[in-house]
Amino acid sequence: MSIKLGANNYGKSGIRLLRVVRQQGRHDIKELTIRVAFEGDFESAHTKGDNQTILPTDTMKNTVYVLARQYPVEAVEEFALHLIEHFLTYNSQVSRIRIEASENLWQRVPLGGKPHASAFARSGDEKRTAVLIGTREGTTIRAGLDDLIVLKTTRSAFEGFLRDPYTTLQEDRDRILSTIIHADWLYESGEVEFSPVWHGVRQTMLETFAEHDSHSLQHTLYAMGEAVLNNFDRISEIYLSLPNKHFTLVNLAPFGMDNPGEVFLPTDEPHGLIEATLSKG
């Protein structure tokens, strides 16, 4: 029987680092988790146990730390580009490199009405993300964010939906709408100011979520993606994944009390999940 090796890759995941940039009177930090994956001519390692083309994954880890020392890590996309350039330069056996980067977002602790110069706090699980795929012909860059929790208490409805014999959900003209935004977007080739664009996209999605008169989470997802594509020339495509985090009105009638939309029970599972990709035509 003939056996053929299919698509394969190898690399190092879970490379964590905290980069501190120390300036007079001010410190800046970046906390990153990096994954490196190589694709290329590795068949002999699989079929013959020949490791001559295998760069140790420990070396990949060390490279991340060395380049983190050499560069300020001002934007995760820029740091990932440095990694791709380095690995392609020194590894002729590699044809394709994938770098995934996730940044934990820290904010300065306020002190006396001003941001502290060297003390930081995390306000949640939100992360800035990037996925770069580099070859010797070029690099594709996707930036994004994950675990951005949002909620609004009005301007959201869900009515006129399909019913079948098992449908029990009641229509709601004024409900709580909450989700956890996962989004990533594709940059067109050319120069991009990564950090200003990332913050701009995030703010655009937040403002659209807050102001949109929602008829469903699908309706709001489309509005958010449309707003990003209309306002950022360098973005050609955006993917959004929005779980519908449900809040159920608590029945207080057994206690002789009404509940005019004031007390709710948050539920995590099961939840609806809405996903879509929007692109410029």
One digit per residue, the tens of pLDDT, for the chain of length 281 reads: 999 999 999 999 999 999 999 999 999 999 999 999 999 999 999 999 999 999 999 999 999 999 999 997 689 999 999 999 999 999 999 999 999 999 999 999 999 999 999 999 997 999 999 999 999 999 999 999 999 999 999 999 999 999 999 999 999 999 999 999 999 999 998 899 999 999 999 999 999 999 999 999 999 999 999 999 999 999 999 999 999 999 999 999 999 999 999 999 999 899 999 999 999 98
CA 251 to chain centroid: 37
Domains of the chain: 10-137 (3.10.270.10), 143-281 (3.10.270.10)
- Pick the catalytic residue from 116, 152, 219, 246: 246
pTM metric for this prediction: 0.95
Whether 27 is catalytic is: no
Give, in order, the Cα–Cα distances in Å from 218 to each of 51, 177, 227, 236, 241. Answer: 50, 12, 14, 20, 10
Whether 246 is catalytic is: yes
Widest distance between CA atoms in the chain:
77
254 Cβ contact list (under 8 Å, min separation 6): none
- Give residue 136's pLDDT: 97
Question: Which of 9, 15, 20 minimizes the C-alpha distance to 32?
Answer: 15
On the CB side of 162, CA atoms within 13 Å amount to 1
- Pick the catalytic residue from 57, 135, 140, 204: 57
H helices within the chain, ranges in order?
43-48, 57-70, 76-90, 194-211, 217-231
Place of tokens 């019913």: 163
Whether 219 is catalytic is: no
- Pick the catalytic residue from 12, 127, 212, 245: 12
- Give residue 214's pLDDT: 98
Say if residue 198 is exposed, middle or buried (CB neighbours under 10 Å; 0-12, 13-18, 19+): buried
